[in-house]
Amino acid sequence: DAGITQSPRHKVTETGTPVTLRCHQTENHRYMYWYRQDPGHGLRLIHYSYGVKDTDKGEVSDGYSVSRSKTEDFLLTLESATSSQTSVYFCAISALAGGENEQFFGPGTRLTVL
Amino acid sequence: GENVEQHPSTLSVQEGDSAVIKCTYSDSASNYFPWYKQELGKRPQLIIDIRSNVGEKKDQRIAVTLNKTAKHFSLHITETQPEDSAVYFCAAAGNTPLVFGKGTRLSVIA
């Protein structure tokens, strides 16, 4: 597996609380992505980054923010968690842009919002 | 933006038979088409990919075909084995991040 870790791996929180998920890579890849996976919806892109401090929105970005202050770390924040954000969150990395290079996934974070 | 449709959503085959999963895409600018396998509780793993300058690619029991004119691509698994049971995702990308299909749950019955 590519050098990607996610923390925490499991989290249970309550509605209205802030939550931050961390993705860390040791591959020095330029591109990093956050996806959520829900039954019947596959993998949907939340936000992605194409460099330090450079980020853009994905298909399902409402309610999420991201930050990338170092090449190796990409943070996903839920400012005020809702039950609809209960999901499995995957981070992914790639050396080049979408159509030019393979994309590899981290182990995932299972988030439950009560 | 890109839209990827994947069929079927579930597929059951007898061990030793072949399995075919089909995907269509909408953006003619897409030029990269990977396939991922996800076992229960695990991360998606890249198993094979194809680029738009190639019509077919094979890796042991797995093959992918691409028809750019019709905007569809397919995954073929021959001589299926119980360990092939998983969810398979297709995806497409050009200048933008990968867009994924909704997945196919493949069950190989021994």
Neighboring chain A residues of B31 at a CB cutoff of 8 Å: 99
Interface probe, candidates A105, A109, A110, chain B, greatest B C-beta count within 10 A: A105
* Record: contact B30-A48, CB cut-off 8 A: no
How far is it, in rounded angstroms, from Cα B75 to Cα A74? 32
Residue-level pLDDT at B52: 84
* Record: contact B102-A42, CB cut-off 8 A: yes
Q: Are B30 and B52 in contact (CB under 8 A)?
A: yes
Torsion over CA: B25, B52, A55, A92 (sign):
positive
pLDDT band at B46 (very low <50, low <70, confident <90, very high): very high
Beta-strand pair B56-59/B62-67 = antiparallel
Residue-level pLDDT at B32: 93
Average pLDDT value for residue range B52-63? 92
* Record: contact B32-A100, CB cut-off 8 A: yes
Residue-level pLDDT at A98: 67
Neighboring chain A residues of B88 at a CB cutoff of 8 Å: none
pLDDT band at A36 (very low <50, low <70, confident <90, very high): very high
Q: Are A81 and A65 in contact (CB under 8 A)?
A: no
Q: Which residue has the tokens 């497409």?
A: B92
B54 or A75: whose pLDDT is higher?
A75
Neighboring chain B residues of A106 at a CB cutoff of 8 Å: 43
